[in-house]
Amino acid sequence: MISLYHCVAARSFRPLWALEELSLNYELKMLAFPPRVIDKNYLQLNPLGTVPLLCDGDVRMTESVAICHYLGARYGPSPLIVDVEEPDYGAFLNWLHFGEATLTFPQTIVLRYDRLETPERRLPQAVADYRRWFLGRLRTLEPLLAGREGICAGRFTMADISVGYALLLAEYLGLEPEFPPSVRYYWQQLKQRDGYGRARVAELVAAEAQGVDTVPAPLRSP
């Protein structure tokens, strides 16, 4: 049985969404955020203290995008993975990693220094700079996404899950009104997917059943 350790709305939502898209059986283990601080026992499973953690037999993985790639390849063949023989293989790897390294990283600075830190440790300048950084990178997607089904390969793939999670986090941070039009349209389409809807329900049902706060960290009052 695959086990996924997850906090509501955290990056572990990527593998959760992938599991639902692939219709795999899994066990969802909910943690309060941040697990590194709240659940010291979790450090024995994942010394980083971060989510996701995926356990699949002897396999242990802690990078959300790598887990999506692993699941699609390991339990495929699946159209969610772009094969090495396809013309968009390079684009697939690029957008897969772009979603985390370029689109999620700047938002974590905004999240931390605008919402999670105590008022005296907040850094308005860093928040403004990294907010601008994120929106600047997002604008580069505008011409690429116009009229497309997915970000590459002409279909929905794990790269869309990677980028889609970054857009979900941006929505929680109140950045959605500044999305360029084609990015906004793309995000609306992604949210209509059954797999996305099932993953959203799964995290809330599991959080309630396991006594974990269902309010995502970015929306909590300090």
Ligand X SMILES: N[C@@H](CCC(=O)N[C@@H](CS)C(=O)NCC(=O)O)C(=O)O
Residues interacting with ligand X, by CB under 6 A?
10-11, 34, 36, 49-52, 63-65, 100
Beta carbon nearer to ligand X, 10 or 141: 10
CA dist., res. 99 & res. 128, Å (int): 20
Beta carbon nearer to ligand X, 63 or 178: 63
Give me 81's structure tokens. Answer: 């993975």
Beta carbon nearer to ligand X, 115 or 148: 115
Closest by Cα among 173, 158, 153 to 217: 173
Q: Give the residue ranges of DSSP H helices in 78-193.
A: 89-101, 105-111, 124-139, 142-145, 158-172, 181-191
In the complex, the smallest distance separating the C-beta of residue 151 from ligand X, rounded to whole angstroms, is 17
In the complex, the smallest distance separating the C-beta of residue 88 from ligand X, rounded to whole angstroms, is 22
Q: Which residue is nearest to ligand X (CB)?
A: 50
Beta carbon nearer to ligand X, 51 or 91: 51
Complete edge-to-edge strand list for the sheet that includes strand 59-61: 26-30, 2-6, 53-56, 59-61
In the complex, the smallest distance separating the C-beta of residue 181 from ligand X, rounded to whole angstroms, is 28
CA dist., res. 160 & res. 69, Å (int): 12
Could you tell me what percentage of the chain is helix, strand and coil, using 3-state DSSP and rounding each to the nearest 5?
55, 10, 35
Half-sphere exposure for 38 (CA within 13 Å, toward CB): 11
Beta bridge partners of 141: none
Beta carbon nearer to ligand X, 49 or 106: 49
Beta carbon nearer to ligand X, 51 or 80: 51
In the complex, the smallest distance separating the C-beta of residue 133 from ligand X, rounded to whole angstroms, is 17
In the complex, the smallest distance separating the C-beta of residue 63 from ligand X, rounded to whole angstroms, is 5
Geometric angle at alpha carbon 103, from 102 and 107, rounded to 5°: 115
CA dist., res. 199 & res. 21, Å (int): 9
In the complex, the smallest distance separating the C-beta of residue 117 from ligand X, rounded to whole angstroms, is 13
Beta carbon nearer to ligand X, 180 or 216: 216
In the complex, the smallest distance separating the C-beta of residue 168 from ligand X, rounded to whole angstroms, is 11
